[in-house]
Structure 1
Amino acid sequence: MTLLRVATVQAAPAFLDLEAGVAKTVRLIEEAAQRGAKLIAFPECWLPGYPWWVWLDSPAWGMQFVQRYHQNSPRADGPEMDTIRRAAREHGIVVVLGYTERDAGTLYIAQQLIDAEGRLIAARRKLKATHVERTVFGEGDGSDLKVHDTAIGRLGALCCWEHLNPLNKYIMYSQHEQIHVGAWPSFSVYEGAAYALSPALNTALSQVYAAEGQCFVLASCGIVSPEMFELLCDTPQKRQLLKVGGGAAMIFGPDGSPLCEPLPPDQEGLLIADIDLSLIALAKAAADPVGHYSRPDVVRVVFNPHSPQRVTRVAARKDLLDTEAEDTGS
C-alpha cells in the first residue's frame, strides 16, 4: 500500500476518567474511519490524560491526584484495550494509542500499535521520562525503539521529547521507518517563560524528524480543557503556569512539508492527509542519513535492543547443598 489517508488527533482527554476516555477514543476511531482514514494517531498519555500537576507545584501537593491517576490508567492487556482493539477491527483502521500504562505499582508513558484487524502490533514505553515526569513514570528500554512491518508500511512511534534525543531518532531511522507517530501532550505550560516547551519548538522537532528520517510524521497533540484548568489551577500562580488549549497537531511529508491546515490551539478535531509512500524515494535520493549520506567509518551508534532482567533466578546445585549440609553438620 503506497497511497493512504491518515488522521491525527488534536483533542482534550477525558481527564482522570478512563471509562469516558475509552468512549471518546472509540468515537474518534469511528470518525476517522468514516472520513476514509486507514491510520489514526492519538496524543501522549491520552488515557487518562497527561499529569500536568507535576509542573505546577510540589510533589506533596500533587499526591492528591496519584491514586485517581493510578486507578484510571489502563493495563497493557486490560479490558479497555480490548474495547479499543475491537473498534479498530470493526472500522478497519490502524490505531496508534498514547496512554499511561499501569503495570503493578509502576506507571509508564506508553503507546500501543494496533492493526486494522484489532491485533496488537507492539506495546512500547517511553525510553526516558522527561524532567519532572520522572516523579510519576518509570522508563522503557532498547526493545521500545522499534519499527514494525505492517499492511500500511513500516510504522514506528515515539513520545514527546524522545524526538529531542538524536540517538533515539537515529535508531528509528536505521530501521527504514516510513510512517512515524509522534505523540505530544499539549503546549500550554510555562507559556512565554520556557521556549523549549513551546508549540514552535516542538512542532519543529516533528518537522525535522520527517526531513531527517525521510518519512511521514503524524504529530498528535492533546489540549488542556477548561475543566482540566479549573481542577489543576487552584491559585493565581498556577493560572499563570498553565493555559487552556495548547494544541498543535500536524502531519508532515518526508521532505518536511506540512500536509494539512492546523487547527486553532483550543479546537478539537482530526487532521487528515492523503499520503503517498512512494514519495519517500525522492527524499531518500537527496539525503539518506542511514544509507548513502552516512559515514559509519567515522560515526556509529551502539544500540542494545533487549529488555533487561530485573530478577535472575538461579537453580541451586545439589552438590553445593550437600556440601553446605556437611559443613553445618545438619
Structure 2
Amino acid sequence: MSQCIKVACVQAAPVFMDLEGTVNKTIQLIEEASQNGAQLIAFPETWIPGYPWFLWLDTPMANMPKTYQYHQNSLELNSESAQRIQEAAKKHHIFVVLGFSERDHGSLYISQWTINDLGETVSIRRKLKATHVERTLFGEGDGHSIRVDETRLGNIGALCCWEHLQPLARYAMYSQHEQIHIAAWPSFSLYQPQMASIGPDVNIAASRLYAAEGQCFVIAPCAIVSQDMQDILCHSEEQKKLLALGGGHARIFGPDGRDLVTPLAEDEEGILYADLDLSHITIAKTAADPVGHYARPDVFQLIFNKNAVKKVITKQDHEQEQIDKLSTETHAEG
C-alpha cells in the first residue's frame, strides 16, 4: 500500500443545471489535477448538476419548473456522460470521488461515486437522509451506503454535508478503519449570517472534528455560488440576500485536525493539493482510537445494519435465500 498520496480538493462552481457542461468541467478538473501529480480528486456535494438551492428559496409548487429541469440534468449511471468521466479517470490515472445528483428512473439521490485510476467503479453511495427541504426532491440511502472501501491508496470513505453531524453515522464509518475521508459540501452562503448552523464556522468545524475524532485525513471539497447561479436562482433582492455569492470553504485536514493547505478565498475557484502520509494516522491513534483502545464497548455499543435493502423480493430471491440458509445450516452441522 502506498504510504504517501497526493490529493486534490475542488472548490469551484458547476455549470449550473447543465449536465454536459458540468461533465466537461469535471473532466477538465480531473486532467488539471492529474497534471499536477494528484492521485485522487474529490468533488463537492451534488457537483453535477449543482446543488438545488431553489429548494430553500421558494415553495415546492413554484419550484416545479426548476425541479423538472434539475431532474433532466441529473446524472444516470451507465449513461454516456458517466462513461466519459470513467474514461477520464482511466486516461489520467487518477481516483475520482464525485458528488452528483443520481437519477434512477423517477427518483433522485444525493450520491457519491468512487472511481479508481483504471476507470472502474469502486463504489456508489447515497446520502443516508436528505436534510430538511432536500427531502422534497431526493430519496435516501440505506446502511450499505455507510461504507469504507479498501483501495491501493488506502481505506477511502465519503459522506455528504450534514451526515457529518450524525454521531452514529460517524462512528459506523470510523469502525471500518477509514484512512482517507471525503467530506463533500455544497457551499456555505445560504441564510448567512442569520443561520450559523449551515454557515462556514460550524461546518468547517464538523470536517475538522471528523479528522481529529476519527484520526483520518479529511478532504472537504466545497462548491461556490457564482454570479451566473445567483442570476438563475434569485429573482428578487430578498432572494439574493438569502443566497449570497461565494461560500466556498474547501479544506484538507490531517488526522490531528490541522489544516494541511492554505484555503482559497471563498469566491475563488481552484484546486487545493496536499500530500498525505498515512503513517501519521498511527501516531494520531496512539492518543485516542475511538473504535479501539479508547472505546468502552461495555458501556456503549452501536447496532449497525450495513446491508442493502431490496424494495422488491421476487419468488426466485426468496427461494435462493432458503437454499443458501439450508446450505449454511448443513455446513455448520457437518
TM-score tier after normalising by the smaller chain length: over 0.9
C-alpha separation between the residues in 1 aligned to 2:15 and 2:152?
31
1:201 aligns with 202
C-alpha separation between the residues in 2 aligned to 1:243 and 1:172?
33
The percentage of counterpart residues that share the same residue type is 56
Superposition deviation, residue 18 in structure 1: 0.5
Superposition deviation, residue 67 in structure 1: 1.4
C-alpha separation between the residues in 1 aligned to 2:127 and 2:82?
18
Q: Aligned letter for 1:200?
A: D
2:216 aligns with 215
2:265 aligns with 264
C-alpha separation between the residues in 2 aligned to 1:265 and 1:223?
7
Q: Aligned letter for 1:80?
A: S
C-alpha separation between the residues in 1 aligned to 2:147 and 2:52?
26
Superposition deviation, residue 66 in structure 1: 1.4
Structure 2 residue 114 is matched with structure 1 residue 113: yes
2:330 aligns with none
Q: Secondary structure at the match of 1:85?
A: helix
1:322 aligns with none
1:301 aligns with 302
2:101 aligns with 100
Pairwise CA RMSD of aligned residues?
Answer: 0.8
Q: Residue deviations 1:45-87, cap 9 Å, x none?
A: 0000000001111111111201111111011222211101111
Q: Residue deviations 1:89-108, cap 9 Å, x none?
A: 11110000000000010000
C-alpha separation between the residues in 1 aligned to 2:199 and 2:225?
14
C-alpha separation between the residues in 2 aligned to 1:218 and 1:286?
22
- Structure 2 length-normalised TM: 0.93
Greater radius of gyration (CA): 1
Q: Secondary structure at the match of 1:44?
A: coil
C-alpha separation between the residues in 1 aligned to 2:114 and 2:315?
35
2:84 aligns with 83
Superposition deviation, residue 308 in structure 1: 1.7
Q: Secondary structure at the match of 2:275?
A: strand
Q: Residue deviations 1:237-285, cap 9 Å, x none?
A: 1111000100000000000000000000011000000110000000000
C-alpha separation between the residues in 2 aligned to 1:47 and 1:10?
14
2:241 aligns with 240
C-alpha separation between the residues in 1 aligned to 2:153 and 2:307?
26
User: Is 1:44–1:109's contact at 8 Å kept on the other side of the alignment?
Assistant: yes
Q: Residue deviations 1:188-210, cap 9 Å, x none?
A: 00011100011111000000000
- Structure 1 length-normalised TM: 0.94
C-alpha separation between the residues in 1 aligned to 2:147 and 2:78?
20
Q: Aligned letter for 2:11?
A: Q
C-alpha separation between the residues in 2 aligned to 1:12 and 1:60?
26
Task: Name structure 1 gaps, 5 residues minimum.
Answer: 316-330
1:145 aligns with 146
User: Is 1:48–1:73's contact at 8 Å kept on the other side of the alignment?
Assistant: yes
Structure 2 residue 282 is matched with structure 1 residue 285: no
Q: Aligned letter for 1:53?
A: F
Q: Aligned letter for 1:133?
A: E
Q: Secondary structure at the match of 2:63?
A: helix
User: Is 1:219–1:251's contact at 8 Å kept on the other side of the alignment?
Assistant: yes
Q: Aligned letter for 2:193?
A: G
Task: Name structure 2 gaps, 5 residues minimum.
Answer: 317-334
C-alpha separation between the residues in 1 aligned to 2:183 and 2:250?
10
2:51 aligns with 50
Superposition deviation, residue 312 in structure 1: 2.6
1:177 aligns with 178
2:4 aligns with 3
Q: Residue deviations 1:20-66, cap 9 Å, x none?
A: 11110000000001111000000000000000001111111111201
Q: Aligned letter for 1:261?
A: T
Q: Secondary structure at the match of 2:222?
A: strand
Superposition deviation, residue 313 in structure 1: 3.0
Q: Secondary structure at the match of 1:110?
A: strand
C-alpha separation between the residues in 1 aligned to 2:4 and 2:311?
44
Aligned residues: 315
1:64 aligns with 65
C-alpha separation between the residues in 2 aligned to 1:16 and 1:168?
30
C-alpha separation between the residues in 2 aligned to 1:278 and 1:226?
42
Q: Aligned letter for 1:79?
A: E
Q: Which moved more, 1:236-245 or 1:95-104?
A: 236-245
Q: Aligned letter for 2:217?
A: F
C-alpha separation between the residues in 2 aligned to 1:144 and 1:308?
11
C-alpha separation between the residues in 2 aligned to 1:298 and 1:275?
34
Superposition deviation, residue 314 in structure 1: 3.7
